[in-house]
């Protein structure tokens, strides 16, 4: 079985020196989903996932949304005091768990009226339908600009009235704090306390944040706080045993230092990013570790890697991002380290060290997987294009990259506790979410999390003009065509958003545009300081914006005056991604809320996706028909990209399932052991 890509296993590390190891048995919060089924049960589970999309959920939610809207006249003439009284009645009803379906309809109608009065925004029927889907434990797919943040307030308010807490998970601290403050008038009117938990907060502030009825936070923070609470419990078998000891013996067992009160319900914004793209990313609590000998070993490994030759000493599997030694390579490495002692004496350890050095050299590129800032390696998130300064690669890979770039090698740290996001979110009793792109991952979301996907129709018809892909024989031909298209579109006055897959690609295109004297803005992980201003102006007349995936998720580009008459925003993708969801996120920047717009993807047979996931003979067959520098007209090149994308998605799905099975195995067979390492 192939290993998961280490690029997707970048670990978020929080230094916690002096904290004892945690016992990972008898978790206080039980998974909402059972372990992955095996054998015939697994086959049945997969078959059920194929039928889940055909359930008529959207029609049912739209019908219920219409019932909610029909009740508007019942509340619009009520005074604020009487409406607050209605909220109080609903809170008592939901707190006791005695509500009916009719009560739920009334509750949504009340919150809808509150939003109208407090925010000046009346949720549209499709937003109410999305809220109904979320409340029912589904993933609501809503197109960009359709109002996911407002939709989430309705199920969140219901959860707050139930009194067990509700976590609304966002992708960064800024959005968590912004959304909590922005939506607070609705919650406060409904008699609920709302708070946010962000990375800069201390324990007391975190505890107050989680004690609120509704807590906005990030996947990183909520997962790290669970791990810290586990470490606080220390050697106690379970939280119930600790609480029982406190009642009987008066011994606190450290409970006064816990910050969380449980994992009851989570609503995940950008659910596909959190539950799929970052599923196997482990969050790690670490303490002091490493020594001078280890640091020196990473530097020596970088030197030894220079003596190894590809094909003779090792082979590269670029599809799975793996290095595998040949028998000749193992013997060669043994000869190179014959006079070296310490860590180099054992065959397994020396091969691990040099393997990581070769991986860093041959599979990790600057301005693609990472950048260098202030003398340190900073990982670039492949899916969002953003910097991740709080993460490091694990198993010595981070140190290997530092040694490769001749930087100061940081000491590796000891792992005190760890958990993947995939495992963590299955601990919630109730789970739901929303995103702009989920339909491609609907089978995985069902099989792993038991979450159906419901595609919510747009409030206004989408009139985006989606052009067929343009596929070129070489990357050089592709870039020339992209620059030509930018010039032609720019002459019409239409704003252009050009999406690139890496920092290096964005800088390459920027250089080409400079040669053509085309004024433009660049937004990537290195030039992120002016992100808000760049995005705010990206829809203005004649604007050219070159951006990595940073402009694909969590951004809303509004059209400037007169732009709609020119055809709206034109989006150009310069390369297909391994996941079609990321492409759709980029295309979704155009034609929001009924605006005009267009999108088209450019690719070549030399692109990484095609090179990694298609066979050489298939590429040669397509190249045989290529003529000149123009696009390949046959449909076969486009099918080649689609096949590569589908294969990449299948492989990463299998990798995530393998990690989940390993987690289940550890729970079953190592439950008696100490900390998970």
- The phi, psi pair for 472, rounded to 5°, reads -120, 160
- The DSSP code sequence of 325-337 is E-HHHHHHHHHHT
Q: Give the 3-state secondary structure of residue 258.
A: coil
Q: What is the pLDDT of residues 386-428, one digit of tens each?
A: 788 878 888 889 999 999 999 999 988 777 888 889 889 999 9
d(CA 195, CA 166): 11
Residue 252 has pLDDT above 90, yes or no: no
- The candidate with the shortest Cα–Cα distance to 188, out of 235, 139, 153, is 153
According to DSSP, residue 273 is labeled I
pLDDT the model gives residue 55: 67
- Could you tell me if 131 and 123 are in contact, meaning their C-beta atoms sit under 8 angstroms apart? yes
- Could you tell me if 165 and 215 are in contact, meaning their C-beta atoms sit under 8 angstroms apart? yes
Q: Which CATH number applies to 290-412: 3.90.1440.10, 3.40.50.2300, 2.60.120.650, 3.10.310.10?
A: 3.90.1440.10
Where residue 27 falls among pLDDT bands split at 50, 70, 90? very low
Where residue 36 falls among pLDDT bands split at 50, 70, 90? low
The rounded percent of the chain whose pLDDT value lies above 90 is 54
CA angle centred on 69, ends 68 and 72, rounded to 5°? 100
Where residue 247 falls among pLDDT bands split at 50, 70, 90? low
Q: In the chain, which segments carry CATH 3.90.1440.10? A: 290-412
- The DSSP code sequence of 602-619 is EEETTSHHHHHHS-HHHH
3-state secondary structure 481-542: HHHHHHHHHHHCCCCEEEECCCHHHHHHHHHHHHHCCCCCEEECCCCCCCHHHHHHHCCCCC
Residue 546 has pLDDT above 60, yes or no: yes
CA angle centred on 634, ends 633 and 635, rounded to 5°? 115
The rounded percent of the chain whose pLDDT value lies above 70 is 86
Q: In the chain, which segments carry CATH 3.40.50.300? A: 10-17+29-54+133-284+422-455, 463-654
Residue 16 has pLDDT above 50, yes or no: no
Where residue 671 falls among pLDDT bands split at 50, 70, 90? very low
pLDDT the model gives residue 28: 32
CATH topology of domain 463-654: Rossmann fold (3.40.50)
Residue 315: count of CB within 10 angstroms of its CB: 13
d(CA 157, CA 159): 5
d(CA 108, CA 114): 10
pLDDT the model gives residue 242: 61
What's the maximum distance between 2 C-alpha atoms anywhere in the chain? 88
As beta bridge partners, residue 218 has 170
- Could you tell me if 581 and 437 are in contact, meaning their C-beta atoms sit under 8 angstroms apart? yes
d(CA 139, CA 144): 15
User: CATH says 10-17+29-54+133-284+422-455 is which class?
Assistant: alpha beta
Read off the pTM.
0.83
Burial (0-12, 13-18, 19+ Cβ within 10 Å), 96: exposed
Residue 623 has pLDDT above 90, yes or no: no
User: Measured between alpha carbons, how far apart are the two ends of the chain, in Å?
Assistant: 21
pLDDT the model gives residue 641: 84
- Could you tell me if 381 and 368 are in contact, meaning their C-beta atoms sit under 8 angstroms apart? no
pLDDT the model gives residue 543: 95
Mean pLDDT of the 257-284 span: 90
d(CA 456, CA 451): 15
Mean pLDDT of the 255-274 span: 90
Mean pLDDT of the 572-581 span: 91
Q: If phi over 0 gives left and psi between -120 and 50 gives alpha, with beta otherwise, what is residue 562? A: left
d(CA 87, CA 77): 15
Residue 113 has pLDDT above 90, yes or no: yes
Burial (0-12, 13-18, 19+ Cβ within 10 Å), 59: exposed
Residue 603: count of CB within 10 angstroms of its CB: 24
Q: What is the pLDDT of residues 304-339, one digit of tens each?
A: 999 999 999 999 998 888 999 999 999 999 999 998
Q: What is the pLDDT of residues 169-193, one digit of tens each?
A: 998 888 899 999 999 999 999 999 9
Residue 41 has pLDDT above 80, yes or no: no
Mean pLDDT of the 602-611 span: 91
- Mean pLDDT computed over every residue of the chain: 85
Residue 670 has pLDDT above 70, yes or no: no
d(CA 140, CA 642): 25
């Amino acid at each position: 079985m192939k290993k998961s890509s280490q690029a997707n296993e970048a670990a978020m590390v929080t230094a916690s020196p002096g904290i004892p190891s945690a016992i990972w048995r008898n978790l206080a919060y039980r998974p909402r989903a059972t372990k992955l089924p095996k054998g015939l049960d697994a086959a049945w589970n997969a078959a059920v996932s194929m039928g889940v999309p055909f359930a008529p959920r959207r029609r049912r939610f739209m019908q219920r949304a219409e019932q909610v809207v029909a009740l508007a006249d019942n509340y619009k003439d009520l005074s604020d005091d009487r409406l607050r009284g209605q909220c109080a009645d609903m809170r008592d009803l939901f707190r006791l768990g005695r509500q009916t379906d009719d009560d739920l309809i009334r509750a949504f109608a009340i919150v809808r009226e509150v939003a109208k009065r407090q925010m000046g925004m009346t949720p549209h029927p499709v937003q109410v339908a999305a809220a109904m889907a979320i409340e029912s434990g589904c993933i609501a797919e809503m197109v960009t600009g359709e109002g996911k943040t407002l939709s989430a307030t309705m199920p969140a308010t219901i959860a707050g009235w139930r009194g067990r807490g509700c976590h609304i998970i966002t992708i960064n601290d800024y959005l968590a704090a912004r959304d909590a403050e922005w939506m607070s008038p609705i919650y406060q009117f409904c008699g609920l306390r709302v708070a946010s938990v962000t990375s800069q907060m201390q324990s007391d502030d975190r505890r107050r944040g989680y004690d609120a009825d509704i807590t906005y936070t990030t996947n990183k923070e909520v997962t790290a706080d669970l791990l810290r609470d586990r470490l606080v419990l220390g050697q106690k078998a379970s939280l119930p045993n600790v609480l029982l000891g406190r009642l009987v013996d008066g011994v606190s067992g450290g409970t006064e230092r816990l910050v969380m009160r449980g994992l009851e319900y989570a609503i995940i914004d950008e659910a596909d990013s959190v539950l799929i793209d970052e599923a196997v990313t482990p969050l790690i609590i670490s303490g002091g570790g490493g020594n001078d000998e280890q640091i020196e070993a990473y530097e020596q490994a970088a030197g030894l890697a220079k003596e190894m030759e590809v094909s003779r000493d090792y082979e590269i599997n670029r599809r799975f991002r793996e290095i595998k030694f040949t028998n000749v390579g193992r013997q060669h490495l043994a000869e190179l380290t014959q006079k070296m002692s310490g860590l180099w004496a054992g065959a397994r350890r020396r091969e691990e060290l040099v393997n990581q050095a070769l991986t860093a050299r041959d599979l990790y590129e600057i301005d693609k997987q990472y950048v260098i800032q202030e003398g340190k390696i900073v990982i670039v998130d492949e899916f969002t294009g953003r910097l991740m300064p709080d993460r490091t690669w694990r198993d010595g890979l981070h140190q290997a990259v530092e040694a490769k770039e001749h930087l100061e090698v940081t000491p590796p740290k000891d792992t005190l506790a760890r958990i993947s996001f995939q495992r963590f979110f299955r601990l919630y009793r109730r789970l739901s979410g929303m995103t702009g792109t989920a339909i491609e991952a609907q089978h995985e979301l069902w099989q792993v999390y038991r979450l159906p996907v419901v595609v919510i129709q747009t409030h206004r018809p989408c009139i985006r003009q989606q052009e067929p892909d343009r596929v070129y024989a070489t990357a050089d031909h592709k870039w020339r065509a992209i620059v030509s298209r930018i010039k032609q579109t720019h002459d019409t006055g239409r704003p252009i958003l050009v999406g690139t897959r890496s920092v290096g690609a964005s800088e390459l295109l920027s250089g080409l545009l400079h040669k053509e004297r085309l004024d433009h803005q660049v937004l990537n992980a290195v030039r992120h300081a002016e992100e808000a201003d760049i995005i705010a102006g990206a829809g203005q007349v004649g604007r050219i914006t070159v951006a990595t995936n940073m402009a694909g998720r969590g951004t809303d580009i509004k059209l400037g005056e007169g732009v709609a008459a020119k055809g709206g925003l034109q989006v150009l993708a310069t390369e297909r991604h391994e996941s079609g969801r990321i492409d759709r996120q980029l295309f979704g920047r155009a034609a929001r809320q009924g605006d005009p717009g267009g999108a088209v993807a450019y690719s070549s047979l030399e692109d990484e996706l095609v090179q990694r996931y298609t066979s050489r003979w298939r590429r040669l067959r397509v190249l045989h028909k290529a003529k000149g520098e123009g696009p390949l007209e046959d449909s076969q090149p486009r099918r080649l990209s689609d096949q590569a994308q589908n294969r990449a998605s299948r492989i990463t799905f299998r990798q995530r399932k393998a990690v989940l099975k390993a987690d289940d195995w550890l729970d079953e067979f190592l439950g008696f052991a100490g900390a998970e390492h």
